[in-house]
Amino acid sequence: IEYMQTDSGFFTSKFVPFKGGKDSGFNSLYYPGEACLGLVYLASIDETYKHKWLTIATKALLHLHKIRETQSLEAIEPDHWALLATAELLPQLDKSVVEYELVYEHAIKVVKSM
């Protein structure tokens, strides 16, 4: 999953070996949230790399926040996977950091859009 994430936090959701690897021709609506939820669950059982997995998940949710922050509520898809991931991630983040607030704001906006 880490390999499939760009510096911006975007996930390429398909890997096709015979096409050279990452296939950016398809953009999955739900893959980022699914990947984040998996990473948060992984962090809960892998204490050695817990911080790493939570950082990757946070980065992905911050990317979703960035692309959705200027969208109208009507334009935001009902991304339940991102909400599930956020519910698991927020209790593990420091409430005093800006990332917590941005991930929280994103979840509120997605909920309101539903």
65-89 residue pLDDT tens: 999 999 999 999 999 999 999 999 9
Kindly report, residue by residue over 24-79, the tens digit of the pLDDT.
Answer: 777 778 989 999 999 999 999 999 999 999 999 999 999 999 999 999 999 999 99
Its domain, for residue 96, covers 28-113
- Residue 50 domain-assigned (yes or no): yes
Which of the two residues, 2 and 16, has the higher pLDDT score? 2
DSSP 26-74: ---SSHHHHHHHHHHHHHHH-GGGHHHHHHHHHHHHHHHHHHHTTS-GG
- Residue 68 domain-assigned (yes or no): yes
Number of domains composing the chain: 1
- Residue 11 domain-assigned (yes or no): no
> How far apart are the C-alpha atoms of 4 and 35, rounded to whole Å?
10
Nearest Cα residue to 39 out of 65, 60, 22, 66: 60
- pLDDT for the residue numbered 23: 66
- pLDDT for the residue numbered 34: 95
What residues pair up with 21 in beta bridges, in sequence order? 16
Q: In sequence order, what are the residues at sequence separation of 6 or more whose Cβ sits closer than 8 angstroms to the Cβ of residue 49?
A: 42, 43
* Position 20 pLDDT exceeds 80: no
